[in-house]
Each structure stands twice: as structure tokens, then as C-alpha cells.
Structure 1
Amino acid sequence: MKATGDQYEQLAINHLQQQGLTLLEQHFRKGRWEIDLIMKEQDTLVFVEVKYRRQQGFGGAQHALSQSQINRLRSTAQYYLQSHHLKEHQTACRFDLVAVDGQGSEQQITWLKNAF
């Protein structure tokens, strides 16, 4: 399962780098919680969650985040800022979602800026 997740995270990294973002960190952890990717777009820190779904049932990967997951991501991002001595209210940041749906040549990547 981790190998599959890493594969789609690498796909997301490649896609975002093509759009001009720079990778700062992958798999940033706070205990059991994790942010998939931390990237930078100009002066903005971008916390990225990557979701993959083979099929688009129930809204596909774009609708795969629960409110509790969003809360954990926000909490982990706050920890990241604190651990890097960055002030939350003085640091431009946002939360993006990269949703990958389908398989092989049918695969579709959707990048949602400011997803939550």
C-alpha cells in the first residue's frame, strides 16, 4: 500500500514541479499524522494532500478527505510552522489537494488550490 501511495505522490510532485512549485519536504510527520508533500510556490508554503482512487465512485479522489483528516492536516501544518520557527500569521500558506483518479492511460490528475 505504501508503495502505491509513494507512486502517486511522485506523480503529484512531477505535476506540481511542472507548474513551478518546489518540493521542500515529503512525508512530514507529527506522531502518526503526516503531510504528504510540503512545497513552495513563490513565497507561499503549500501543504499538499495526495489522494488516489481507481474509480470515481462516491465523487472520486476529490471527495476523499473527511473533516477529521482536514483537522489533522491543519494541526500537523501548525506543528511544521512551529518546528521551523515560522510565525503562523506571518507566513503565507495554503492547503492543496492533488486528486488522481483512474488507471494507466485513463488517469486524470486534478490539482485543487486552497482545497480547504
Structure 2
Amino acid sequence: MVRLLPNKRQIGQAYEQMAEQFLCRHNLTPIARNFSCRSGEIDLIMRQGKCLVFIEVKYRTQAHYGSAVEAVNWRKQQKLKRAAFFWLHKNGFSIEHSQFRFDVIAIQGHHHHIEWFTNILVEG
């Protein structure tokens, strides 16, 4: 019997589901998963109270090439922001009059240690 290994997309979806369950336990409400547009992709879109939360989920087994959160570099943050602005516009939200933020869920190691970084995109 041949057993097929999960592909990268299936693995990513499993970690996104793990992150979503974690955030639901912290009183966030799911809105969308894997929103894609030309600007980029948003792993999870959730709501916390009146605030929309755009979430990048990153998993690393080991930190040889940097931690999971370090993988969300400036370029990735800019793509996330552009995709979020597109989603807001597409769904009738005003960027100027909506509460939103960008979070990262970093999942590390074989024991799946979860860290939640809120409001990662602060421009000044």
C-alpha cells in the first residue's frame, strides 16, 4: 500500500487551522481563510470585537534559517498590507474608517509552540 505524503499546501492548511483554533480560544471570530489576489495572500482574516485582524501564519520546524516570525520580513508585510487593503475595498470597508491590524501566528518546532504577535505593522 502506497501512502502519499501531504503536500506543502495541505501542511500549510493544517497549521492555519491550528492557528485559527488557537485564536478562536482567544475570542476572535473567523471571517475568511486563504484570501488571494494579485497583491498577495492573507492566511486568516478574523474579527476581534470591532477590529478586523489580518493574520499571517508561519511554521518552522527548526530555526536554522531564522524563526517563524523572522520569516515575516518587510517585503512580506508590504504584500500582506496590499492584500488587506484590497480585501477591505472589495468588501465595502473604508480604510480610513475601519479598525484593523496585522498579526502573526508563529508555530515553532515539533511540539508546535504557538506565539501570537499582535499589531506587527506599525508605520511611523
TM-score range, shorter chain: over 0.9
Residue 107 of structure 1 deviates from its aligned partner by: 2.0
Residue 32 of structure 1 deviates from its aligned partner by: 6.5
Which residue pairs with 2:53 in the alignment?
Answer: 46
Which residue pairs with 1:91 in the alignment?
Answer: 98
* Identity over aligned pairs, percent: 33
Residue 69 of structure 1 deviates from its aligned partner by: 1.0
Which sections of structure 2, spanning at least 5 residues, go unmatched? 1-7
**Separation in 1, partners of 2:24, 2:107:** 16
- SS of the counterpart of 1:28? strand
RMSD: 1.1
**Separation in 1, partners of 2:73, 2:39:** 17
Which residue pairs with 2:114 in the alignment?
Answer: 109
Residue 34 of structure 1 deviates from its aligned partner by: 0.7
* Between 69-78 and 53-62, the greater mean CA deviation after superposition: 53-62
Residue 41 of structure 1 deviates from its aligned partner by: 0.1
* Structure 1 runs of 4+ with >3 Å offset: none
Residue 67 of structure 1 deviates from its aligned partner by: 1.3
The residue type paired with residue 21 of structure 2 is N
The alignment covers a number of residue pairs equal to 114
Give the alignment's TM-score, normalised by structure 1.
0.94
Give the alignment's TM-score, normalised by structure 2.
0.88
Q: Within the alignment, does 1:7 sit opposite 2:14 as a pair? A: yes
**Separation in 2, partners of 1:107, 1:47:** 21
The residue type paired with residue 15 of structure 1 is F
More helix as a share of residues:
1
Which sections of structure 1, spanning at least 5 residues, go unmatched? none
